[in-house]
Chains A and B, each alone.
Chain A
Amino acid sequence: EIVMTQSPATLSVSPGERATLSCRASQSLSSNLAWYQQKPGQAPRLLIYGASTRATGIPARFSGSESGTEFTLTISSLQSEDFAVYYCQQYNNWPLTFGGGTKVEIK
Chain B
Amino acid sequence: QVQLVESGGGLVKPGGSLRLSCAASGFTFSDYYMSWFRQAPGKGLEWVSYISSSSDYTNYADSVKGRFTISRDNAKNSLYLQMNSLRAEDTAVYYCARDYGYSSSWDIFDYWGQGTLVTVSS
Contacts and interface: CB of A to CB of B under 8 A. Distances in A.
Interface residues of A, number: 23
The 3 closest A-B pairs by CB, nearest first: A43-B112, A91-B107, A96-B47
Interface in B70-122: 95, 97, 100, 106-110, 112-115
Given A46-B109, A46-B110, A87 B100 contact: no
30 contacts: A32-B107, A34-B108, A38-B45, A43-B95, A43-B113, A43-B114, A43-B115, A44-B45, A44-B95, A44-B109, A44-B112, A46-B100, A46-B108, A46-B110, A49-B100, A49-B106, A49-B108, A55-B100, A55-B110, A89-B45, A89-B108, A91-B106, A91-B108, A95-B47, A95-B61, A96-B47, A96-B107, A98-B46, A98-B47, A100-B44
B25 interface: no
Contacts of B62: 95
A27 B109 CA distance: 22
A101 B46 CA distance: 12
B41 to A, nearest CB: 12
A7 interface: no
Contacts of A100: 44
Contacts, number: 49
A67 interface: no
B89 to A, nearest CB: 16
| Among B46, B97, B110: residue with most chain A CB under 10 A | B110
B94 to A, nearest CB: 11
Contacts of B115: 43
Given A95-B47, A95-B61, 12 more contacts: A36-B45, A38-B45, A43-B114, A44-B97, A44-B109, A45-B112, A56-B110, A91-B106, A94-B59, A96-B107, A98-B47, A99-B44
